[in-house]
């Protein structure tokens, strides 16, 4: 259920009844100071100015026409016309019981299932994934989970860079060095760098490499065999990393640039026939309308070079066409960093103009910022190199292990390994997901592994507390699912009211792809639960009905924390 939506509709009806124009939307906010109310209606002042009426008088009229007695127990109006609403405890009790009994924790909005393609992670072949791949991978994975949770058909697409001139160069170098068997990804990456250096410095090798580029494009059996081996070694390594990170990508989701090779020549011909692409002295380009460079000049996208080589743009145009035709996509979302925004806007404009996708199909770039060090510089090693993602993960697990050993030096080794992995990896993911994706953020080990503040460990620890209470109670709550919940104090009440925001949070992420608002909500739940836990007697209560009532709030807290962490791709822990 979406409490704000329910109340907003009723308030809007009342506003229209008293003569407020439709253009004045209801702004319903949660009150920070709960003693003033649980929700506050804003927007009366601007409407009062338009109607030339005292804001307080207008607020009184709105309140008189409100039909919310079943939901609201008390309404107060400030002198400035702010309307404060207090939730009725009896109504809230019924809603909490409905949440406990619902399959999707109160998600009641009926979703028309859409085919949604999510393009994320997209590592490079012949290279280990580095920290620059982290944001796309974990933000994309969280949104995949959330879209699937509400009922959409999600097609995961790992668009790997597995084709092009660089592979011809690498294959030529492997042949030259007779390096074919038992290669690890680290070996291939070193050889890749050596091959690039030799290509620049050695004219004869450059000529040989170009021949291999042509051979690969013509699908020479020997070249294809080496190419496939390079791709397999890289992706086997990457999928071990995905598994470690609890990312839902599988081999079936891999769709490399090579997937679209056979489409490229026809794309060029078709775009020229439609007058979208033109021949500019042997180079095929697409002049862009409305998109300018930093000098203010109109731009053009090159889709075929004079030497016949295709570009990333050509592949990306074919890719969108393929995704629409193959998957009947209603929406295609790219999780790519902000620096690619102009480029993607160009590609989206081209495919729409060429009618490769209908105008009603949504093409979205959900951009994200960079990870920075404490000096606001790109997060790299001391030598200025990219930090390997696996190294980052291992370091976080080690730090988590040290924290656990300080708290529990006698912990069994197998439990230590599992726990440190869940905490360490959860910390990395949550530190990223809790930031608004469009912003850069500063990476901090101390903050992300803290037991206090907006961290995964703080939330995981709250879950441990909740399930520990339930276990110690020895009460089967299934026998009391319909029992009325009594709200004796504000600790219980404020926590229960916060549960009503879940649907609103989830639907916002479905629309905008911003998991940080789920993190903020989970943190809010955790803070409220911690206050409830520390200030409300539960296990030692003599009043059995009140005890069960509070245990039901604990139970629902555990359900929301567990589901919330799952939707972020973070594993729960059951004991520290």
The answer on pLDDT for 150 being more than 80 is yes
Q: What is the pLDDT of residue 79?
A: 83
DSSP assignment of 450-476: -SSSSSHHHHHHHHHHHHHHHHHHT--
Q: What is the pLDDT of residue 129?
A: 93
Q: What is the pLDDT of residue 478?
A: 86
CA distances, 307 to each of 196, 281, 286, 301, 524 (Å):
20, 12, 17, 16, 58
Q: What is the pLDDT of residue 217?
A: 82
CB atoms within 10 A of CB 477: 16
The half-sphere exposure of 274 on its side-chain side, counting CA atoms within 13 A, is: 16
Phi and psi for 50 in degrees, rounded to 5? -60, -40
Q: What is the pLDDT of residue 180?
A: 67
Q: Lowest mean pLDDT: which of 201-205, 293-297, 314-318? A: 293-297
Q: Using an 8 Å Cβ cutoff, are 329 and 361 in contact? A: yes
Q: Hey, which bits of 177-336 come out as E strands? A: 278-280, 283-292, 298-304, 331-334
Q: Using an 8 Å Cβ cutoff, are 329 and 320 in contact? A: no
DSSP assignment of 338-384: GGGHHHHHHHHHHHHHTTSS-TTSEEEE--B--EE-TTSSB-B-TTS
SS3 content of the chain, % helix, strand, coil (to 5): 55, 15, 30
| Model pLDDT for residues 309-349, shown as the tens digit of each residue | 889 999 999 999 999 999 999 999 999 999 999 999 999 99
Phi and psi for 385 in degrees, rounded to 5? -95, 160
| Model pLDDT for residues 361-381, shown as the tens digit of each residue | 999 999 999 999 888 888 887
What is the C-alpha to C-alpha distance for residues 542 and 534, in angstroms, rounded to an integer? 18
CB atoms within 10 A of CB 135: 24
Would you identify the CATH topology of the domain 3-87? Gyrase A; domain 2 (3.30.1360)
421's tokens: 């992995």
Partners of residue 41 on adjacent β-strands: 28, 83
The answer on pLDDT for 295 being more than 70 is yes
For CATH 3.30.1360.70, the residue range(s) in the chain are 3-87
Average pLDDT over residues 497-501: 96
Sign of the CA dihedral with 379 first, then 380, 382, and 388 last: positive
CA distances, 74 to each of 37, 38, 63, 77, 413 (Å):
9, 10, 11, 10, 56
Residue percentage of the chain with pLDDT more than 70: 100
Average pLDDT over residues 390-394: 95
289's tokens: 């309308």
Which carries the bigger pLDDT value, residue 566 or residue 450? 566
| Model pLDDT for residues 530-545, shown as the tens digit of each residue | 999 999 999 999 999 9
Q: Hey, which bits of 496-540 come out as E strands? A: none
What is the C-alpha to C-alpha distance for residues 489 and 34, in angstroms, rounded to an integer? 12
Which carries the bigger pLDDT value, residue 136 or residue 42? 136
Q: Are strands 115-119 and 153-157 parallel, antiparallel or unpaired?
A: parallel
Q: What is the pLDDT of residue 373?
A: 87
Q: What is the pLDDT of residue 278?
A: 94
The answer on pLDDT for 433 being more than 70 is yes
Q: Are strands 39-42 and 27-30 parallel, antiparallel or unpaired?
A: antiparallel
What is the C-alpha to C-alpha distance for residues 270 and 286, in angstroms, rounded to an integer? 12
Residues composing the chain: 576
532's tokens: 């409830």
What is the C-alpha to C-alpha distance for residues 173 and 193, in angstroms, rounded to an integer? 10
Residue closest to 448 by CA, chosen among 134, 4, 115, 127 = 134
The answer on pLDDT for 255 being more than 80 is yes
Q: Are strands 298-304 and 27-30 parallel, antiparallel or unpaired?
A: unpaired
Partners of residue 27 on adjacent β-strands: 42
Edge-first strand listing for the sheet containing 278-280: 278-280, 283-292, 298-304
Q: Whole-number mean pLDDT of the chain?
A: 93
Residue closest to 87 by CA, chosen among 38, 21, 153 = 38
Average pLDDT over residues 387-392: 94
| Model pLDDT for residues 441-489, shown as the tens digit of each residue | 999 888 888 888 999 999 999 999 999 999 999 999 988 988 999 999 9
Q: Using an 8 Å Cβ cutoff, are 550 and 541 in contact? A: yes
Sign of the CA dihedral with 314 first, then 318, 323, and 324 last: positive
The answer on pLDDT for 269 being more than 80 is yes
Q: What pLDDT band is residue 64 in, cutting at 50, 70 and 90?
A: very high
Q: Hey, which bits of 150-305 come out as E strands? A: 153-157, 278-280, 283-292, 298-304
454's tokens: 């907006």
Q: What is the pLDDT of residue 315?
A: 95
CB atoms within 10 A of CB 50: 12
What is the C-alpha to C-alpha distance for residues 527 and 350, in angstroms, rounded to an integer? 48
Average pLDDT over residues 8-29: 89
Partners of residue 287 on adjacent β-strands: 300
The answer on pLDDT for 85 being more than 90 is yes
Q: Using an 8 Å Cβ cutoff, are 106 and 502 in contact? A: yes
What is the C-alpha to C-alpha distance for residues 557 and 99, in angstroms, rounded to an integer? 11
The pTM score is 0.93
Residue closest to 165 by CA, chosen among 267, 60, 307, 336 = 307
Q: Using an 8 Å Cβ cutoff, are 151 and 113 in contact? A: yes
Partners of residue 284 on adjacent β-strands: 279, 304
What is the C-alpha to C-alpha distance for residues 51 and 295, in angstroms, rounded to an integer? 47
């Amino acid at each position: 259920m979406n409490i704000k939506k329910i109340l907003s509709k009723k308030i809007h009806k009342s506003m229209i009844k008293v003569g407020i124009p439709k253009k004045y939307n209801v702004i319903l906010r949660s009150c920070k100071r709960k003693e003033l109310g649980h929700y506050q209606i804003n927007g009366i002042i601007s409407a009062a100015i338009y109607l030339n009426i005292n804001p307080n008088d207008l607020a009184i009229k709105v309140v008189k026409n409100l039909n919310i007695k079943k939901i609201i127990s008390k309404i107060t109006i400030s002198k400035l016309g702010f309307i404060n609403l207090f939730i009725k405890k009896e109504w809230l009790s019924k809603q909490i019981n409905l949440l406990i009994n619902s399959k999707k924790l109160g998600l009641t909005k009926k979703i028309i299932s859409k085919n949604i393609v999510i393009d994320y992670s997209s590592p490079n072949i012949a290279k280990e994934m580095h920290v620059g791949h982290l944001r796309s991978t974990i933000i994309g994975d969280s949104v995949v989970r959330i879209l699937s949770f509400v009922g959409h058909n999600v097609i995961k697409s790992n668009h790997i860079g597995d084709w092009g001139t660089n592979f011809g160069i690498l294959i030529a170098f492997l042949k030259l060095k007779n390096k074919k068997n038992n290669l690890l990804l680290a070996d291939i990456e070193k050889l890749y760098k050596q091959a690039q250096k030799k290509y620049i410095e050695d004219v004869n090798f450059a000529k040989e490499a170009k021949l291999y580029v042509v051979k690969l494009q013509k699908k020479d059996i020997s070249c294809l065999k080496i190419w496939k081996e390079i791709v397999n070694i890289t992706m086997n390594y990457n999928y071990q990393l995905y598994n470690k990170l609890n990312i839902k990508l599988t081999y079936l989701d891999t769709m490399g640039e090579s997937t679209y090779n056979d489409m490229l020549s026809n794309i060029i011909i078709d775009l020229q026939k439609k007058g979208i692409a033109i021949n500019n002295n042997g180079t095929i380009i697409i002049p862009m309308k409305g998109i300018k460079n930093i000098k203010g000049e109109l731009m053009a996208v090159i889709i075929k070079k004079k030497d016949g080589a295709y570009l990333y743009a050509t592949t990306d145009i074919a890719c969108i066409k393929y995704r629409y035709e193959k998957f009947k996509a209603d929406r295609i979302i790219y999780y790519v960093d902000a620096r690619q925004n102009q480029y993607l806007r160009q590609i989206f404009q081209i495919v729409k103009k060429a009618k490769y996708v209908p105008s009603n199909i949504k093409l979205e770039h959900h951009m994200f910022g960079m990870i920075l060090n404490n000096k606001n510089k790109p997060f790299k090693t001391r030598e200025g190199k990219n930090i390997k993602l696996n190294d980052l993960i291992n370091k976080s697990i080690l730090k988590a292990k040290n924290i656990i050993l300080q708290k529990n030096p006698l912990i069994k080794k197998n439990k230590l390994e599992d726990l440190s992995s869940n905490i360490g990896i959860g910390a990395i993911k949550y530190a990223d997901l809790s930031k608004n994706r469009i912003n850069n953020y500063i990476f901090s080990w101390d903050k992300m592994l803290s037991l206090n503040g907006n961290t995964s460990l703080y939330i995981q620890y709250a879950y441990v507390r909740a399930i520990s209470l339930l276990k110690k109670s020895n009460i089967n709550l299934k026998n009391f699912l319909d029992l009325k919940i009594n709200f004796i104090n504000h600790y219980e009440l404020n926590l229960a009211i916060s549960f009503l925001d879940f649907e609103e949070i989830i639907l916002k992420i479905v629309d905008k792809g911003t998991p940080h608002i789920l993190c903020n909500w989970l943190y809010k739940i955790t803070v409220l639960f911690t206050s409830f836990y520390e200030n409300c007697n539960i296990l030692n209560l003599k009043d059995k009905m009140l005890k069960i009532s509070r245990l039901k709030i604990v139970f629902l807290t555990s359900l929301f924390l567990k589901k919330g962490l799952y939707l972020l791709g973070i594993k729960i822990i059951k004991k520290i």
